[in-house]
C-alpha cells in the first residue's frame, strides 16, 4: 500500500469530524462557561482559555475527555453526554471569540524567550516555536494548538504532566510528541517558558 494512503488511513479518525455551527455553539457553550468563561477567557489560572483556539484541536481534546481517553475528571461530567456535533458547535463558537492577552513575569522573560524560540541545544530540548510558531498561533489542521496568552499556571501543569510521561492514551501520537519535548525541561525552564507564553502576543524572537 502506498505510504500516502497509509498516512491518510491513520488520520481518518481525526479528519472525519462534524462541521461546527458557532451560532448553535454559543448556546451549547453554557455548560463550559462556569470554568472557561462566557467568551472562553477563563479567570482562573488553572483552567485554560479557549477563545481563539483552533476548532479541530479543541473538538478533538473534548472528544478525548468525553471518551475517557484523556483523564480530566473535573471536565468529564460536563462533556459526557455531548454528541460529536455538540462538541464541534462549541469548538466553532470558541474559535470565533477574542483571546484576551496575559502578562509575563519580567524576571522570567529572558529564559522563557530563549527556551521558546531556541530550545536548549545542550540538553536537547527543541524550540516551542518549531511547532507553535514564533507568535504562538500553532498550526490549524495539524493539531498544534494556539498557545499564546494561555495562563502560565495551566501551561506549567501541562508541561509537568508531559514531563512525567502522561499521554492521552497509548495511541495518541500528539501527546507522545509532547512527552518527548518536555522530558528534558527543568523546573526553571518550565516556569519561565510558561510565563513567556502567557505574555506572548504575536511576538517576534
Whether 11 shows a pLDDT value over 50: the answer reads no
Whether 127 shows a pLDDT value over 80: the answer reads yes
For residue 79, the domain's CATH number is 1.10.760.10
Q: Degrees (nearest 5) of the Cα angle 140, 165, 90?
A: 35
Looking at 41, 71, 95, which one is the last position of a domain? 95
Cell representation of residue 79: 462533556
- Asked if residue 154 lies in contact with residue 161, where contact means CB atoms within 8 angstroms, the answer is no
Domain identity same for 156 and 129: yes
Please give the model's pTM, rounded to 2 decimal places.
Answer: 0.88
Domain identity same for 120 and 188: yes
Domain identity same for 91 and 115: no
Looking at 38, 71, 95, which one is the last position of a domain? 95
Q: What is the pLDDT of residues 147-172, one digit of tens each?
A: 999 999 999 999 999 999 999 988 89
Whether 110 shows a pLDDT value over 50: the answer reads yes
* Chain mean pLDDT for the chain: 91
Domain that holds residue 162: 106-198
Residues sharing a CB contact under 8 Å with residue 183, sequence separation 6 or more, in sequence order: 162, 163
Amino acid at each position: 500500500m502506498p505510504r500516502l494512503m497509509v498516512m491518510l488511513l491513520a488520520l481518518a479518525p481525526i479528519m472525519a469530524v462534524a462541521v461546527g455551527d458557532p451560532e448553535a455553539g454559543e448556546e451549547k457553550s453554557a455548560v463550559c462557561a462556569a470554568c472557561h468563561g462566557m467568551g472562553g477567557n477563563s479567570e482562573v489560572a488553572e483552567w485554560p482559555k479557549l477563545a481563539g483556539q483552533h476548532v479541530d484541536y479543541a473538538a478533538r481534546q473534548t472528544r478525548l475527555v468525553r471518551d475517557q481517553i484523556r483523564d480530566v475528571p473535573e471536565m468529564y461530567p460536563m462533556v459526557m453526554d455531548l454528541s460529536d456535533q455538540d462538541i464541534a458547535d462549541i469548538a466553532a463558537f470558541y474559535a470565533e471569540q477574542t483571546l484576551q492577552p496575559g502578562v509575563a513575569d519580567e524576571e522570567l522573560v529572558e529564559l522563557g524567550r530563549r527556551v521558546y524560540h531556541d530550545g536548549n541545544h545542550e540538553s536537547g530540548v527543541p524550540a516551542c516555536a518549531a511547532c507553535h510558531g514564533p507568535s504562538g498561533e500553532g498550526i490549524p489542521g495539524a493539531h498544534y494548538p494556539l498557545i499564546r496568552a494561555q495562563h502560565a499556571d495551566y501551561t506549567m501543569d501541562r508541561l509537568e504532566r508531559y514531563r512525567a510521561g502522561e499521554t492521552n492514551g497509548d495511541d495518541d501520537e500528539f501527546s507522545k510528541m509532547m512527552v518527548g519535548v518536555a522530558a528534558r525541561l527543568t523546573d526553571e525552564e518550565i516556569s519561565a517558558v510558561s510565563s513567556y507564553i502567557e505574555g506572548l502576543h504575536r511576538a517576534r524572537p
